[in-house]
Amino acid sequence: MKSLCACFFTSSVFNSHSHSHWNHNHSHSHSQSQIMAGSISGPSGGNAANILLNHDFSGGLDSWHVNCCDGYVVSAEEVSQLGISMETDGNCAVITSRKECWQGLEQDITSRVSIGSTYIVSALVGISGLSQGSNDVQATLKLEYHDSATSYLFIGRTSVTRGNWKKLEGTFSLSTMPKRVVFYLEGPAPGVDILIRPVEIGCSNPNNNIARTGCVSTGEDNIVINPQFDDGLNNWSGRGCKIALHDSMGDGKILPKSGKFFASATERTQSWNGIQQDITGRVQRKLAYEVTTSVRIFGNNVTTADVRATLYVQTSDLRDQYIGIANVQATDKDWIDMQGKFLLNGSPSKVVIYLEGPPPGTDILVNSLVVKRAPKTPPSTPPDIKGVAFGVNVIENSNLADGTNGWYPLGNCTLSVKTGSPHIMPPMARDSLGPHELLSGRYILVTNRTQTWMGPAQTITDKLKLFIRKRDVTLKFSGLDASNYSKTSVQVRQIQNNFPVGTCISRMNIDNEDFVDFFVKHFNWAVFGNELKWYWTEPQQGNFNYKDADDLLNLCQKNKIETRGHCIFWEVDGTVQQWIKALNKTDLMAAVQNRLNGLLTRYKGKFNHYDVNNEMLHGSFYQDRLGKDIRANMFKTANQLDPAATLFVNDYHVEDGCDTRSCPEKYIEHILDLQEQGSPVGGIGIQGHIDSPVGPIVCSSLDKLGILGLPIWFTELDVSSTNEYVRADDLEVMLREAMAHPAVEGLMLWGFWELFMSRDNSHLVNAEGEINEAGKRFLALKQEWLSHSHGNVDQQGQYNFRGFHGTYKVDIVIDTKKVSKTFVLDKGDSPMVVSIDF
């Protein structure tokens, strides 16, 4: 007699409503039984690589998830005790405590599947235990979409009897790419245990040929098909133009750099026309790929032109994205190599790589195109640098290894070095200094002291710098008996420093959950890289795009992250849209007013800052066309439309002394000129794209700008070095200068994730999510800028400490009673008193 479970169905696709109501009553009684799933030689006898991780359970249940029930792994020998034998060694996953038909074992395979490919599922399944008759075992896909809809895709099922293996087979393919794809085995009635052996999911290409690694290249393989045109122009196409195959051109003067052939993109009428290949399904999200190609140009009397490698991505919700991979100045004289990297954050529905760039009428020639997994960057070697300004002990000869050198007696006393002191640091000192080497065991003995102030001393005046952002705190206790003061312990921990530390983000980034996780954990402010700029929100006149900015703003608001608006206008000619350049003076003035009204009305009260007219020291597009007053009018109108927003000027090379156009003196003159015209300038933006920063030079620039009395922000900070340790040192210089200067009220990094930075070698996190040395230094500094303290209540019923501004949690313990309190330490000159009632 066959045991039936009411959760089975005949439709191959069903919605979340029908699937979520599988909890039916069953008229048939069921004793405990188990499902077995075992591997065969490969899907349909093939040898496709398995896309499932830990498919044989050699790693226990790693990479698998037990869905609302319990699970564990047993060996082949132990399986025999369940009434079924295994011919080969291996492991099985046992799933127990199932209360619904759909409960079983699942694995997220989102990043290992793609649209347009056919996937073949194969397993051996069986039942065991006291089951009567047969049970159905089923393979299913759960598909979660961006609009929160969920559907389920039936793959296959088979009937299994006790003590016997049955093959379960099925196939699936995806026409669109969901946000999440989960594979799982399910089916028996509630109370029936599941026992699963290795399961295979392989991928065949559209021609039914078995592909490697689930149709996704992950190793040294070139994912480009026909990369050197040995198969003619198969798999290649023109992007808005024609393409042709050649073994030579120009009367035999142009020959392939390698191989026998090369291709040309010809009859180009737009700069974006070129040669392309659809690589959908052959690249994985969150993995870095390296692109290498050889190119040159031909025709139209053009001798040099910019050639770019670009990635077109259509997201699963049908948004278009363009990722710049690399560019090179190509010539008509010889082949030149071009190399770059890219990474996909989300799960795209389409991915196309193409070459573009030269002016219309100029042919692009390509000899080969290779796209492979990017190799890991070799680790950097720490440089041997002496006299580092930050992060070192300012006390000379602190471990007394050189006797009393560097020390002198304060007063008429005598110093000598002895041995025999403890090697372990006392707890109070340990808390203040953090991780520390063992003590040397040496100590200074001071004799002949005649006054209390006499003792060992060092002069450290020239080694100290002003360090602010701290305040004294007094915890005042009431309801506590004086006899218990010394028995009452106090533990103070700072949860968050309220000094603004933010970063640049882009719409593309937030499809990567690893990026988002790092962002919300380590930053409290954000700025959008491009999504608020005019050329992004209105690329063609009247064609608006605020969706990307809205998505970023929603993420920030959800995580209570403050935002800067960058930027309303950009004064540099090369950043202005062509349709704006084509306007006459009257229409341009109207467009400027529409931009102000549209942007600031839409986002009123949502951005704390605005960079009103970016880089006015380096450009003058609007001023040249609309007159000098336009800059002040932009500030005045922005202030009228959103009075709560602080309005900033923003420019580069202000802090490093590298550009006479934007030295601090010129910046001050510029700001004063705006203010004289009535501009409500509320803040000074220093971008901070800097190499090899020198602390005193940066500090001097801040001192000069500080006389204006306006808050200073580093708005786009990044430092670049191929050596991660040098990058870390340079970043530390800038962070400490910002943190230590009283005029600086916040800083923004211009990104942190590799391949999504405006400058190479400035990232803190490598493309595939590994935190590098610069990132580790950044996180260490953030920890350093948290204050912690512990001790006991003093005889006045108080506990005193000094800490950075921010949020604190205090735990007070006496005997078995514990009281906790959270408070925020704001700026202030006098000690903050926090009352705690016992």
User: In Å, how far are 529, 541, 571, 595, 616 from 622, measured between CA atoms?
Assistant: 22, 17, 6, 13, 10
pLDDT number for residue 48: 57
Q: How far is the C-alpha of 473 from the C-alpha of 787, rounded, in Å?
A: 12
Q: Among candidates 648, 618, 550, 630, which has minimal Cα distance to 591?
A: 630
**What are the distances in angstroms from CA 70 to CA 21, 129, 136?**
21, 18, 20
Decide: 127 and 35 in contact? Cβ < 8 Å: yes
Domains identified in the chain and CATH numbers = 65-204 (2.60.120.260), 237-373 (2.60.120.260), 408-459 (no CATH), 470-496+787-837 (2.60.40.10), 499-771 (3.20.20.80)
The dihedrals phi and psi of 46, each to the nearest 5 degrees, come to -85, -170
Taking only the tens place, the pLDDT of each residue in 296-312 is 999 999 999 999 999 99
Q: Residues 423, 438: contact at Cβ < 8 Å?
A: yes
Tokens of 701: 């620039």
**Residue 2 corresponds to which amino acid?**
K
SS3 per residue for 171-182: EEECCCCCCEEE
**The pLDDT value given to residue 6:** 34
d(CA 154, CA 102): 12
Instruction: Note the pLDDT of residue 129.
Output: 60
SS3 labels along 105-138: EEEECHHHCCCCCEEEEEEEEEEEECCCCEEEEE
Question: Which residue bears the tokens 């296959």?
Answer: 156
Mean pLDDT of 461-468: 71
Q: What is the mean pLDDT of residues 798-820?
A: 93
Which pLDDT does position 796 carry in this prediction? Answer: 94
Position 798 pLDDT exceeds 90: yes
Q: In this model, does residue 413 exceed pLDDT 60?
A: yes
Q: What is the pLDDT of residues 553-582, one digit of tens each?
A: 999 999 999 999 999 999 999 999 999 999
Does residue 207 surpass a pLDDT of 80?
A: no
Q: What is the mean pLDDT of residues 331-347?
A: 95
Q: What is the pLDDT of the chain when averaged over all its residues?
A: 87
- Residues of the chain above pLDDT 70, percent: 88
pLDDT tens-digit series, residues 370-396: 999 999 888 888 887 665 555 567 889
pLDDT value of residue 194: 79
pLDDT at 443: 93
Q: Hey, what long-range contacts does 443-447 have (CB within 8 A, 24 or more apart)?
A: 443/400, 443/417, 443/418, 443/419, 444/400, 444/404, 444/407, 444/415, 444/416, 444/417, 444/418, 445/415, 445/416, 445/417, 445/418, 446/409, 446/413, 446/414, 446/415, 447/413, 447/414, 447/416
Task: Give the number of C-alpha atoms closer than 13 A to the C-alpha of residue 65, restricted to the C-beta side.
Answer: 10
Average of per-residue pLDDT across 28-49: 38
pLDDT band at 626 (very low <50, low <70, confident <90, very high): very high
Is pLDDT above 50 for 41? no
pLDDT value at residue 342: 96
Mean per-residue pLDDT, 756-765:
96
Query: Can you list the pairs that 643-647 forms with residues at least 24 positions away whose Cβ atoms lie under 8 Å?
Result: 644/605, 645/565, 645/600, 645/607, 645/608, 645/609, 645/610, 646/608, 646/609, 646/610, 646/682, 646/683, 646/711, 647/609, 647/610, 647/612, 647/679, 647/680, 647/681, 647/682, 647/683
Distance CA(498)–CA(805), nearest Å, equals 6
Examine the pLDDT at 30 and tell me if it is beyond 50: no
Q: Which of 356, 531, 571, 716 is catalytic?
A: 716
Predicted confidence at residue 47, as pLDDT, reads: 44
| Section 309-324 average pLDDT | 92
Burial label, 500 (beta-carbon count in 10 A; 0-12, 13-18, 19+): middle
- List the 320-331 sheet strands across, edge first: 237-239, 274-278, 350-356, 304-314, 320-331
Least reliable range by pLDDT among 2-6, 447-451, 547-551, 557-561: 2-6
pLDDT at 622 over 80: yes
* Cα–Cα separations (whole angstroms), residue 82 to 76, 130, 555, 802: 10, 10, 50, 65
Whether residue 473 is predicted with pLDDT greater than 50 in this model: the reply is yes
Structure confidence at residue 219 (pLDDT)? 53
Coil vs helix vs strand at 732: helix
pLDDT value, residue 20:
33
Which tokens hold the place of 632? Answer: 């002040």
Residue 365 has pLDDT above 70, yes or no: yes
Q: Is the peptide bond before 504 cis (omega within 30 degrees of 0)?
A: no
pLDDT score for 391? 57
Taking only the tens place, the pLDDT of each residue in 139-166 is: 999 998 877 788 889 998 888 877 777 7
Cα separations (Å) of 245 from 238, 519, 735?
A: 12, 47, 54
pLDDT at residue 386, rounded to an integer: 60
Least confident of 182-186, 313-317, 407-411, 459-463: 459-463
Count the Cβ atoms, other than its own, within 10 Å of residue 676.
Answer: 9
Q: Confidence band (pLDDT; 50, 70, 90) for 31? A: very low
Q: Which residues contact 327 (CB under 8 A, 6 or more apart)?
A: 306, 307, 308, 309, 338, 340, 357
pLDDT band at 209 (very low <50, low <70, confident <90, very high): very low
- By CB atoms closer than 10 A (0-12, 13-18, 19+), residue 163 is middle
pLDDT at 46: 41
Whether the predicted pLDDT of 428 surpasses 60: no
Q: Which two tokens stand for residue 151?
A: 């559907």
pTM across the whole model:
0.70
**101-132 per-position pLDDT tens digit:** 888 889 999 888 887 788 999 887 777 765 66
User: Are the CB atoms for 719 and 759 separated by under 8 Å?
Assistant: no
Number of Cβ within 10 Å of residue 637's Cβ equals 18
754 in active site = no
Using the predicted structure, report yes or no on whether residue 699 has a pLDDT greater than 50.
yes
